[in-house]
Amino acid sequence: MAEALLEIRGLGKNYGAVEALRGAELAVARGEFVCLLGASGCGKSTLLRIVAGFETPTAGVVSFRGQAVNGPGPSRGMVFQDYGLFPWLTVRENVGFGPRARGMGRAEVAEIADRFVAMVGLQRFALSYPHQLSGGMKQRVAIARVLANDAELVLMDEPFGALDAMTRERLQDELLGVWQAQGLTVMFVTHSVEEAIVLADRVVVLSPGPGRIVAEERVDLARPRDVASPEFNAVRRRLAGMLHSDHGVVAAA
């Protein structure tokens, strides 16, 4: 593996008597696109929130650039399914919020906001408010806001789950374009096998009760990926087998 930007060692999380996550071990290389795949309740979102610094682990440690994660930071940006935009701010103001909060000057904030608004194709809507946007547009704003805050690691918690199929496919393509152009590292939570294969360099499978990392699959298919190809469907069958086996562990050939 290339240089590890993120290392997760022995990670566990309890909520009272409920053990949500147990013994997670994972290293994510700089520039890698990793999907966390599993059914609801398997600890995917819990793991992501601990990496973001929004929650404290019960056991284990998360290291980012060699330093223990003890709280949120702008270099680890989170994109949520429900967008999390400020409704009283325009698209441009939402995207520029992070740089402005970090004390940058007005001209620099404006330049950064305009650059990332353009990157996600929303120049015509820069002065619009969130309630005036479609779901896909809101998610573009959420992604642009994270990137404008100079994130190296983008954490995405089922960001396209509430969107219709056509919008989801379009945003998947756009996300891959931004990831490649910006040299980002991405951890992406999904319960869709197809979405994981379309996006990821590597798929990490979690099993519930408590949440455990039980298998991995490296996706060595050229992009853009053809969901109807025999190669794609061979990966789909392997991952489906991992998810549906009694213990979640099936050899990933």
Summarize the confidence of residues 17-32 as an average pLDDT: 94
What sign does the dihedral 166-133-104-75 (CA atoms) show?
negative
Summarize the confidence of residues 127-151 as an average pLDDT: 91
pLDDT exceeds cutoff 90 at 22: yes
pLDDT exceeds cutoff 60 at 252: no
- Selection from 34-38, 136-140, 162-166, 177-181 with the highest mean pLDDT: 34-38
Tell me, yes or no, whether 128 lies in a domain. yes
The pLDDT tens digits for 64-106 are: 999 999 999 888 999 988 878 999 999 999 999 989 988 889 9
Tell me, yes or no, whether 20 lies in a domain. no
CB atoms within 10 A of CB 101: 11
Q: Which domain holds residue 112?
A: 82-151
Tell me, yes or no, whether 95 lies in a domain. yes
Tell me, yes or no, whether 92 lies in a domain. yes
Provide the number of structural domains found in the chain.
1
CB atoms within 10 A of CB 135: 17
**Helix residue ranges per DSSP H, the chain:** 44-52, 91-95, 97-101, 106-119, 135-148, 165-182, 193-199, 230-244
Tell me, yes or no, whether 106 lies in a domain. yes
Tell me, yes or no, whether 73 lies in a domain. no
Tell me, yes or no, whether 86 lies in a domain. yes
The pLDDT tens digits for 99-126 are: 998 888 999 999 999 999 998 889 999 9
pLDDT exceeds cutoff 60 at 249: no
Provide the terminal-to-terminal Cα distance of the chain, rounded to the nearest Å: 18
Tell me, yes or no, whether 117 lies in a domain. yes
**Residue 164, pLDDT score:** 87
Q: Where residue 1 falls among pLDDT bands split at 50, 70, 90?
A: low
Cα separation, 204 vs 239, in Å, equals 10
